[in-house]
Amino acid sequence: MSQARLRALFFDVGGTLIHPWPSVGAIYAAVANRHGLMVTPELMDNAFRESWAALKRPGLTVSRRDWWRELVFRALGQESEACFEELFEQFAHAESWRIYPDVDETLGAARARGWHVGAITNWDERLRPLLDELGLAPQFDSLTVSCEIGAEKPDAAIFQAALEAAGVSAREALHVGDSYDEDVRGAEAVGMRAVLVRRKGGNVSGCACARDLRECVG
């Protein structure tokens, strides 16, 4: 059976469309140093990754402010509410993020084809204002955000909510993201097509991969 005509293209946000700048570790270190905690960006990068791996679990995590507080305290090695508040606010704004260079052209090409362009993302209440600041919000027809849906990828509920917002069937939709478990397996589980973003190259067996987002609309 041939594939249905594509009518909707969805994207993950963090790691797919935008990335922290200059890095998570650099931002954490700069804030921590302002509060008297002398740490390096490299140390904070490693602490953030370790804390993320230790605390990420099924259910609502990155959608909740309290989860981010727990992660920050663990990464810093101490409970500093002042550091947490500053970090939470800093990552809410465009200055701490950069848009990948292939994004504007890709979103424009998708819209020119008449496709519904949406985002499906695990994020908290900071996402919509952030996308406004970055100038990306007008390029989306729908934003399906985990904190609003009450489910995080790979939960089927968040993908189904996105399909309902777009008014398309799963067979008519493609989801693009940088996480195999959350983006690819989650989308395919509800019948959507999926592409894994691998900006540094390399393929994953049994999975469609792209190094550049423009390959998804080529």
DSSP string, 131-171: HHHHT-GGG-SEEEEHHHHT--TTSHHHHHHHHHHHT--GG
**From first to last of its 218 residues, what are the pLDDT tens digits of the chain?**
347 899 999 999 999 999 999 999 999 999 999 999 999 999 999 999 999 999 999 999 999 999 999 999 999 999 999 999 999 999 999 999 999 999 999 999 999 999 999 999 999 999 999 999 999 999 999 999 999 999 999 999 999 999 999 999 999 999 999 999 999 999 999 999 999 999 988 888 889 999 999 999 97
| Listed residue (132, 101, 97, 102) closest to 216, CA to CA | 102
3-state DSSP assignment of residue 119: strand
Provide φ and ψ at 10, rounded to 5°: -110, 150
Q: What is the reported pLDDT for 81? A: 97
Burial class for 112, CB neighbours closer than 10 Å (0-12, 13-18, 19+): exposed
* pLDDT tens column, 131-187: 999 999 999 999 999 999 999 999 999 999 999 999 999 999 999 999 999 999 999
CA pair distance 62, 146, nearest whole angstrom: 9
Q: Walk me through the domains of the chain, giving residue ranges and CATH numbers.
A: 8-17+100-216 (3.40.50.1000), 22-96 (1.10.150.720)
- The answer to whether 174 and 6 have CB atoms below 8 angstroms apart is yes
Question: Rounded distance, CA 145 to CA 125, Å?
Answer: 8
Predicted pLDDT of residue 63: 98
Non-local (6+) Cβ contacts of 103 within 8 A are 17, 18, 136, 213
Give the whole-angstrom CA distance, residue 122 versus residue 57: 13
Q: The pTM is what?
A: 0.96
What span, in angstroms and rounded, lies between the C-alpha atoms of 123 and 61?
Answer: 9
Residue 2's pLDDT is what? Answer: 47
